[in-house]
């Protein structure tokens, strides 16, 4: 059946007036997008989105199913995009529905692959068959409305294309227009399809506490790889990110499809090669233990799933995602503020914080050029260890007899702003809050309340708990001149029950908790617009594009060993920009591995991201102070390039070699900075020549050594072509050596 060339269609008759709302003025004509760099074309029942170097196309087949047509490098404007035709198929083994690359498949009609939506109705019906209803275009966003063939479960799919990167944002809004509640048992943002091929390798990130974001690769073969968190939060077991590359693609060349999920609760990305050899990538809420009760008239929006494609290899895939984060995701996008150099007290003082000790550290920190002083855990309630005090957000009177004001005033007088640690979603059983409200935590009636780090998770889904947490933070920020919150979250969920609501609503906690965390962050930011926030979760346990939308920076790992960090940072930057990647210089030998490294090496490792200092400054020698002053001053000169430029991972610390190198290039290519590291010299080999990337070949760049030694006869000025082809020789011998070289266009 051919679809009419207007929004009217066969379901109109069934749905009557309801449908009219969904029919926009957009008919067949090309819709000029608000941004000239992105285009959305609607031609009959085929939708085509173009931006940057990407084309994405989808369309409605003769059965009314919304079908994927193309996702890849940009096509020419007039290229024919055939109307999708549902592949023939369907036998006793595979249903006809399985052969269709449906953009958003309901679980029904004999679907055996990962569904996008699974719903149980009160009468026991669990069959859902979604068909096209209408569409509209607003600016860079195409919305396509689907509806079940019989029941008014209506799904609005959003496709928003970013003009700068061609990355698409997909999300689905599921509406229950029936007259009874339904249970949504699985809901994704959508499914992405890659061209049929045997030629794919999946790259993903996995890790644990102190070892986040290790890079893994495996061939895409029949079957399914599930990346996920079932922990209630993002977690470090997997990062909500994937990349699928052609087998011959490398860091610098070749085709890569990649994506990241914006959700800070339990999530899932399933990468599946089905029996018809289609590659499906489906991502959204984790379906494990999921069951969202949707009242009549209510709707549920899935997380956003961002994804892009490039022919420029893994490096370019990361750079595109970084650019999206800097220009679209972060709170201050498109003009993200550079991260100040901060000091954090945690590794120096632990819980033993007080006015005199913090003031002494602040004075030292200011003397080396620190711009923000952050007091970590231990300042509130009865918080002398991790066994007590969480939940009681009042200043500890023994440690701060005059409140926080004298310390904050001193920090300001020293020319820095002041930040403080909080962990608002948690409570210790040994706290006034828990004694007053033992029912405020996630729990299942009559069952033990399993502790993690001696604490429980407050049930933020409850409106009263949400109000308490917002009130406590709002008061803290209103009464004190605080510029920065380090927002921590130090355990995974257990017994995720919500006894105060009906059994069939209890699982709503997986969504409502996260929505309320986002709500609190939004409200705080609105009320205190100058406060910046870091997302920390025992290290990198809550890093995703959802939390990054509401926080200015993230903490990648509690492991601050400068050598380990090179590997962790290499994994982190697969998905996330160095502009949010906090990295501290801490003491040597490192508390993690007992490894000794020079202060210079520790600085250079941390300077690859957003520089912080976490060492016990009271123990530093005069020479340490001088080194720190010099390198912090240098960092301030290059930080704009490091944080907001393009990252080139020249040699990965994961490559098995004894050396690694990264290079950041400013967007206008006027500046670049190279960080090179040597793990350990072997057999007298020279440090390999480093060839730069991403410079303007015709421009001339002056070289400036921030740290290290260049080979004799290295020119001080040469063309971009020279630095990219001849390269630069750094002299490094020994163990744990580092160099940093800046390149400035003349
Ligand atoms: C977590 C964080 C650390 C520190 C401690 C404080 O482990 O990741 O950086 O803030 O909590 O208790």
Helix-then-strand count for the chain, H and E = 14, 38
Q: Which residue lies with its CA nearest to atom 9 of ligand 1?
A: 558
- Measure the CA–CA gap between 214 and 567, rounded to whole angstroms: 8
Q: List the catalytic residue out of 98, 558, 634, 744.
A: 558
> In this structure, is residue 667 part of a structural domain?
yes
- Measure the CA–CA gap between 415 and 410, rounded to whole angstroms: 9
Question: Is 491 in a helix, a strand, or coil?
Answer: coil
Mutate to test the pocket of ligand 1, among 211, 346, 384, 535 (most ligand atoms within 8 A of CB): 346
Q: What sections of 374-462 are H helices per DSSP?
A: 405-413, 432-436
State whether the Cα torsion 538-539-541-542 is positive or negative.
positive
pLDDT reported for residue 268: 98
Cα 551 to ligand 1 centre (Å): 17
Q: Give the CA dihedral 126, 130, 135, 140, nearest 10 degrees.
A: 80
> In this structure, is residue 711 part of a structural domain?
yes
Q: Which residue lies with its CA nearest to atom 12 of ligand 1?
A: 377
> In this structure, is residue 729 part of a structural domain?
yes
Q: N- to C-terminal Cα distance for the chain? A: 64
> In this structure, is residue 579 part of a structural domain?
no
Question: Which of 735, 729, 742 lies closest to 598 in space, CA to CA?
Answer: 735
* Ligand 1 close to Cβ of residue 98 (< 6 A): no
> In this structure, is residue 179 part of a structural domain?
no
72-86, 194-208, 310-324, 612-626: the lowest-pLDDT one:
72-86
Task: Provide mean pLDDT across the span 507-520.
Answer: 98
Question: Which of 245, 239, 246 lies closest to 215 in space, CA to CA?
Answer: 239
* Ligand 1 close to Cβ of residue 300 (< 6 A): no
* Ligand 1 close to Cβ of residue 390 (< 6 A): no
Q: Which residue lies with its CA nearest to atom 11 of ligand 1?
A: 538
Known active-site residue 488: yes
Mutate to test the pocket of ligand 1, among 538, 543, 555, 613 (most ligand atoms within 8 A of CB): 538
CA angle 70, 75, 78 (to 5 degrees): 110
Q: Which residue has the tokens 């609760």?
A: 265
Dihedral pair phi/psi, residue 564, rounded to 5°: -55, -40
* Ligand 1 close to Cβ of residue 536 (< 6 A): yes
Question: How far from the centroid of its chain's Cα atoms is residue 401's Cα?
Answer: 40
- Measure the CA–CA gap between 70 and 78, rounded to whole angstroms: 15
pLDDT in tens, 24-36: 323 333 333 334 5
Question: Is 666 in a helix, a strand, or coil?
Answer: coil
Mutate to test the pocket of ligand 1, among 347, 488, 556 (most ligand atoms within 8 A of CB): 488
> In this structure, is residue 712 part of a structural domain?
yes
Band of the pLDDT at 336, cuts 50, 70, 90? confident
Question: How far from the centroid of its chain's Cα atoms is residue 230's Cα?
Answer: 17
Cα 83 to ligand 1 centre (Å): 54
Question: Which of 669, 653, 663 lies closest to 691 in space, CA to CA?
Answer: 663
pLDDT in tens, 678-688: 999 999 999 99
Contacts of 618 (CB under 8 A, 6+ apart): 348, 360, 361, 364
pLDDT reported for residue 36: 57
For the cut 50, the answer to whether the pLDDT of residue 222 exceeds it is yes
Question: How far from the centroid of its chain's Cα atoms is residue 660's Cα?
Answer: 24
> In this structure, is residue 250 part of a structural domain?
no
pLDDT reported for residue 357: 97
Task: Provide mean pLDDT across the span 101-109.
Answer: 97
Band of the pLDDT at 91, cuts 50, 70, 90? confident
Task: Provide mean pLDDT across the span 534-538.
Answer: 98
Cα 558 to ligand 1 centre (Å): 7
Residue 706's domain spans which residues? 650-745
Over 521-566, what HEC string results? HHHHHHHCCCCEEEECECCECCCCHHHHCCCCEECCCCCCCHHHHH
> In this structure, is residue 60 part of a structural domain?
yes
Task: Note the residue count of the chain.
Answer: 746
For the cut 60, the answer to whether the pLDDT of residue 342 exceeds it is yes
370: which strand partners? none
Averaged confidence pLDDT in the chain? 94
Atom of ligand 1 nearest to the CA of 537: 8
pLDDT in tens, 695-718: 999 999 999 999 999 999 999 999
Domain count, the chain: 2
Q: Which two tokens stand for residue 613?
A: 């200092």
Mutate to test the pocket of ligand 1, among 421, 489, 614 (most ligand atoms within 8 A of CB): 421
- Report the percentage of the chain scoring pLDDT > 70: 95
pLDDT in tens, 372-427: 999 999 999 999 999 999 999 999 999 999 999 999 999 999 999 999 999 999 99
For the cut 60, the answer to whether the pLDDT of residue 431 exceeds it is yes
Task: Provide mean pLDDT across the span 169-192.
Answer: 98
* Ligand 1 close to Cβ of residue 539 (< 6 A): yes
Contacts of 134 (CB under 8 A, 6+ apart): 7, 9, 19, 22, 23, 24, 144, 145
139-148, 270-279, 438-447, 459-468: the lowest-pLDDT one:
270-279
Known active-site residue 41: no
For the cut 70, the answer to whether the pLDDT of residue 94 exceeds it is yes
Contact indicator for 340, 385 with CB cutoff of 8 Å: no
CATH number of the domain enclosing 726: 2.60.40.1180
Which of 161, 180, 200 is the last residue in one of the domains? 161
Q: Give the CA dihedral 21, 24, 25, 30, nearest 10 degrees.
A: -170
- Measure the CA–CA gap between 8 and 441, rounded to whole angstroms: 50
* Ligand 1 close to Cβ of residue 600 (< 6 A): no
* Ligand 1 close to Cβ of residue 200 (< 6 A): no
Question: How far from the centroid of its chain's Cα atoms is residue 504's Cα?
Answer: 31
Q: Residue 472: left if φ>0, alpha if ψ -120 to 50, beta else—which one? A: alpha
Question: Which of 169, 149, 473, 431 lies closest to 305 in space, CA to CA?
Answer: 169
Q: Which two tokens stand for residue 681?
A: 């010299």
């Amino acid at each position: 059946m051919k679809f009419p060339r207007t929004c009217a269609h066969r379901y109109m008759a069934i749905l009557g007036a309801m449908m009219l709302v969904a029919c926009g003025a957009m008919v067949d004509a090309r819709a000029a997008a608000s941004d000239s760099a992105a285009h959305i074309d609607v031609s009959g029942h085929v939708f085509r989105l173009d931006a940057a170097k990407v084309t994405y196309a989808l369309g409605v087949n003769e059965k009314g199913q919304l079908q994927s047509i193309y996702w890849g490098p940009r096509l020419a404007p007039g290229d024919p995009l055939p109307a999708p035709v549902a592949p023939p198929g369907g036998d006793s083994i595979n249903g006809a529905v399985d052969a269709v690359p449906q953009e958003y498949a309901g679980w029904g009609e004999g679907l055996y692959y990962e569904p996008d939506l699974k719903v149980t109705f009160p009468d026991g019906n669990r069959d859902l068959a979604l068909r096209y209803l209408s569409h509209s275009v607003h600016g860079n966003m195409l919305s396509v409305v689907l509806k079940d063939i019989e029941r008014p479960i209506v799904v609005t799919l959003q496709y928003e294309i970013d003009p700068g990167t061609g990355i698409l944002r997909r999300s689905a809004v599921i509406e229950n227009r029936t007259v009874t509640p339904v249970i949504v048992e699985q809901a994704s943002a959508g499914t992405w399809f890659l061209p049929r091929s045997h030629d794919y390798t999946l790259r993903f990130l996995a890790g644990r506490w102190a070892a986040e974001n290790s890079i893994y690769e495996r061939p895409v073969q029949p079957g399914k790889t599930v990346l996920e968190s079932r922990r209630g939060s993002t977690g470090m077991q997997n990062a909500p990110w994937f990349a699928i590359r052609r087998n011959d693609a490398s860091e610098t060349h070749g085709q890569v499809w990649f994506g990241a999920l914006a959700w800070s609760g339990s999530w899932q990305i399933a990468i599946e090669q089905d029996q018809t050899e289609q590659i499906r990538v489906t991502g959204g809420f984790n379906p494990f233990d999921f069951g969202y009760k949707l009242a009549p008239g209510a709707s549920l929006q899935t997380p956003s799933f961002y994804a892009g494609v490039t022919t420029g290899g893994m490096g370019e895939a990361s750079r595109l995602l970084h650019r999206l984060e800097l220009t679209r995701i972060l709170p201050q996008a498109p003009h993200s503020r550079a991260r100040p150099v901060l000091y954090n007290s945690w590794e120096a003082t632990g819980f033993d914080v007080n006015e005199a000790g913090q003031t002494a550290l602040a004075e030292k920190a200011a003397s080396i050029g620190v711009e923000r002083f952050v007091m970590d855990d231990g300042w509130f309630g009865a918080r002398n260890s991790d066994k007590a005090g969480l939940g009681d957000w009042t200043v500890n009177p023994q440690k701060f007899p005059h409140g926080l004001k004298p310390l904050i005033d001193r920090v300001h007088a020293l020319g820095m702003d002041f930040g403080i640690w909080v962990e608002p979603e948690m409570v210790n059983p040994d706290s006034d809050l828990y004694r007053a409200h033992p029912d405020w935590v996630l729990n299942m009636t009559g069952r033990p309340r399993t502790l993690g780090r001696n604490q429980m998770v407050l049930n933020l889904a409850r409106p009263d708990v949400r109000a308490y947490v917002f009130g406590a933070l709002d008061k803290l920020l209103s009464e004190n001149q605080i510029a920065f919150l380090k927002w921590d979250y130090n355990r995974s969920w257990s017994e995720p029950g919500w006894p105060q609501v009906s059994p069939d609503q209890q699982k709503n906690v997986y969504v409502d908790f996260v929505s309320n965390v986002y709500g609190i962050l939004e409200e705080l930011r609105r009320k205190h617009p100058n406060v910046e926030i870091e997302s920390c979760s025992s290290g990198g346990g809550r890093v995703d594009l959802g939390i990054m939308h509401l926080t200015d920076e993230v903490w990648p790992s509690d492991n601050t060993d400068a050598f380990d960090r090179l590997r962790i940072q290499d994994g982190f930057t697969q998905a996330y920009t160095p502009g949010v990647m906090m990295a501290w210089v801490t003491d040597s030998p490192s508390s993690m591995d007992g490894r000794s490294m020079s202060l210079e090496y520790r600085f250079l490792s941390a300077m690859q991201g957003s520089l912080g200092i976490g060492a016990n400054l009271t123990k530093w020698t005069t020479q340490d102070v001088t080194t720190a002053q010099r390198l912090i001053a240098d960092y301030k000169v290059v930080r704009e390039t490091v944080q907001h430029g393009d990252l080139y991972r020249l040699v990965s610390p994961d490559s098995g070699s004894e050396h690694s190198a990264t290079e950041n290039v400013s967007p206008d290519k006027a500046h670049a900075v190279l960080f090179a590291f040597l793990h350990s010299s072997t057999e007298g080999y020279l440090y390999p020549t480093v060839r730069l990337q991403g410079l303007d070949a015709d421009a001339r760049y002056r070289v400036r050594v921030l740290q290290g030694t260049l080979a004799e006869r290295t020119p001080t000025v040469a063309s971009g072509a020279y630095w990219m082809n001849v390269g630069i020789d750094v002299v490094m011998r020994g163990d744990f050596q580092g160099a940093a070289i800046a390149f400035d266009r003349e």
